[in-house]
Amino acid sequence: MRFFLSGAGYARKISFGYAKPALKIALLILAIGVSSCSSVPLTESGSLSSYSKLGSVEGRSNKSRTFLDTAALATATSVAITPTRLSPLAYSRIHDAGNDRLVSNALDRALCVDLSDKYRVVGPGEPADITVKAVITDIVPTSKTAAGLSTVATLGTSVVLPVGVPRLPIGLGGLAVEAEAIDGNGIQRAAIVWSRGANSITNGARVSEVGDAYSLASSFAAQFSEMLVKGRKPSGLDLSLPSGHKLKSQLGGKPKNAACEAFGRAPGIAGALAGVVGAPPSWTDNPSKH
């Protein structure tokens, strides 16, 4: 196996001809995985009160169209979260009972925790400056067979290599969501149409048809919350450290706002360990108990 690196007027040949077979396999999978991700198209399901103010499509694997009324949101201090629902298309992708609730609840829980950075989250029926509504418009199922093979490959190679090889770039899932924030007069103050496919580097394989959708639910929540909390378009990459309350919640602790208890607590360390071995998220997260 050879790679050529071009520089200022020269080319350098790097040969891995004598590399161990396991290392060759790791390098090959890494090279493929870097550019491998599933694709999820942006759709308009009709769930938003308006699409007319949405901007043009931004991003590639992580695509979105957004609208943000920064001035109106600057004075808002409280938020209510309407439980996320699935569109008929998204629901038709689910075959295992309870997985629809698993993904929607994970999205709501992440939204509640992220929005707590700025807002006081109130319970159902309580007055709020803005109300957030989200609809999962599509789910690309994760191949449980491919996820199982990826987990075996990753854990197996970690025995002979310093790190396990990335996930196999096959059978990747994805998620598409629409959401908006409306004020007390029913006026849309923020909106997003969003989709993202899993990739073989940053999204670990979990043996579940919603393994990737479950993981990507928190990615969506982070980006939409960034719009509402920071008053700016989602960056898609947030390198800032999580707040103290957010870190506590991610570890399964008590949330900052009591209203977030309606969505249960994060699986914490148990959930993280389950993810490492590719276990279905339902093993450690059971929204039916919330």
What is the distance between the alpha carbons of residues 104 and 287, in angstroms, rounded to a whole number?
9
Instruction: Round to whole Å and give the CA distance between 284 and 267.
Output: 6
> Do residues 182 and 130 touch, judged by C-beta distance below 8 A?
yes
Mean pLDDT split into 10-residue runs, the chain, 290 residues: 38 41 52 62 92 93 94 96 97 96 98 97 93 97 90 67 71 96 97 94 92 96 96 74 85 93 94 90 84
Q: What is the pLDDT of residue 290?
A: 63
Q: What is the pLDDT of residue 161?
A: 53
Q: What is the pLDDT of residue 173?
A: 95
pTM: 0.84
Which residues, including other chains, have CB under 8 Å from residue 284's CB and lie 6 or more apart?
Answer: 267, 270, 271, 274
Closest Cα partner for 117 from 1, 243, 204?
243
Q: Quote the pLDDT of residue 184.
A: 94
- Tokens 């450290």 -> residue: 241
